[in-house]
Amino acid sequence: MRLQALLGDAPLQAILFDLDGTLVDSVPDLAAAMDAALQHCGLPVAGEERVRSWVGNGAVKLVARALDWAVETEVAQVQSAQQQLLLEAFYRAYAEDSSSRSRLFDGVLEALQYWRDAGVKMACVTNKPERFTHPILAEFGLQALLPVVVGGDTLAQRKPDPAPLRLACERLGVAVENAVMVGDSCNDIDAAHALGMPAACVSYGYNHGAPIADAGADLLVDVFSALR
C-alpha cells in the first residue's frame, strides 16, 4: 500500500480526503451556480474553464475571485456588500443543484472500498460548507465510506490551517501520527505538514491553476487508483 509507505513503521489507520478536485470533479456544478449568481447580479458570466482556476479555498474565496475578475479590481477593494450579494446568490443557485453535472473521478469508489475492507478509517476534510458536502457524498454513495465530515464551516479555521485535520483524526479516534492526507492543492499539503502528517496529492485537481508538482507533496499520482 503506497500510503502506508509514507508513514514508515507507523501503521496506517486513517486517510483524510479532500473533496473537490480529489474525489469529485465538482467544477461543472460550481461554474453553473457561479454563472447564475453573476448573471443575477448583472455581471458577466465566467465559464467553467475560468471557475476551475478559482476553486480550492471555499465559497467565500471563490466568490471574491469571481467578483475580482468581473469588476476588474483587487479583491481587497471589493465592497463587502457587493461580495455578500454575490455569495448569497451563489449559495442559492448551488443549493438547487450541486451534483447533476459533477462526477466521481475514475477509481475513487473502488479505492475507498479497498481501504474500508482493509480496516482503514476514512474522513472527508473539505473547505466546502457542510450543507453542500453531505448531499454530494450521498449522491455518489460515499457517506458510508466517509462517515466523518469536517467542512469549511465546521470550525472557525479552514485548510490550510491544520485544525480541521486534527478534528477529523479525533472524531475517527486515530492519532495524527497514523493518518495521511490525500488532496489536490497546497492547502491540503500545508495543513498536513503543519501536523507532521504526510500529504499525497493527485495531479488532476484544481490548486487554483498552479502546478501541484511544485507544492511539496510527499506523493504525487496522476490517477486516484495509484494511491493504493
Per-residue pLDDT at 72? 74
Where residue 175 falls (left for φ over 0; alpha for ψ -120 to 50; beta otherwise) is: beta
Tell me how far apart the alpha carbons of residues 99 and 103 are, in angstroms, rounded to a whole number.
8
**Where are the domains positioned within the chain?**
2-25+102-227, 27-96
pLDDT tens digits along 7-60: 999 999 999 999 999 999 999 999 999 999 999 998 999 999 999 999 877 788
Per-residue pLDDT at 116? 98
- Other residues' Cβ atoms within 10 Å of the Cβ of residue 116: 14
How sure is the predictor about 79, in pLDDT bands with cuts at 50, 70 and 90? Answer: low
Clarify whether 18 is annotated catalytic.
yes
Per-residue pLDDT at 180? 98
Task: Determine which one of 18, 29, 188, 218 is catalytic.
Answer: 18
pLDDT tens digits along 211-226: 899 999 999 999 999 9
Q: Do domains 2-25+102-227 and 27-96 have the same CATH topology?
A: no
pTM of the prediction?
Answer: 0.93
Is the distance from CB of 66 to CB of 51 less than 8 angstroms? yes
Tell me how far apart the alpha carbons of residues 134 and 149 are, in angstroms, rounded to a whole number.
8
Q: Is pLDDT at 77 greater than 70 in this prediction? A: no
pLDDT tens digits along 144-176: 999 999 999 999 999 999 999 999 999 999 999
Contacts of 25 (CB under 8 A, 6+ apart): 102, 103, 104, 105
Based on C-alpha coordinates, what's the Rg of the chain?
17
Per-residue pLDDT at 71? 81
Which position has the higher pLDDT, 88 or 57?
88
Contacts of 111 (CB under 8 A, 6+ apart): 224, 225, 227, 228
What's the order of all strands across the beta sheet hosting 219-221?
A: 148-150, 121-125, 14-17, 179-183, 199-202, 219-221
Average pLDDT, the chain: 93
What CATH topology corresponds to 2-25+102-227? Rossmann fold (3.40.50)
Give the CA angle between residues 225, 97, 132 to the nearest 5°: 65
Per-residue pLDDT at 78? 55
Per-residue pLDDT at 56? 77
**3 state DSSP class of 183:** strand
What CATH topology corresponds to 27-96? DNA polymerase; domain 1 (1.10.150)
pLDDT tens digits along 100-147: 999 999 999 999 999 999 999 999 999 999 999 999 999 999 999 999
Give the CA angle between residues 100, 111, 128 to the nearest 5°: 45
Per-residue pLDDT at 107? 97
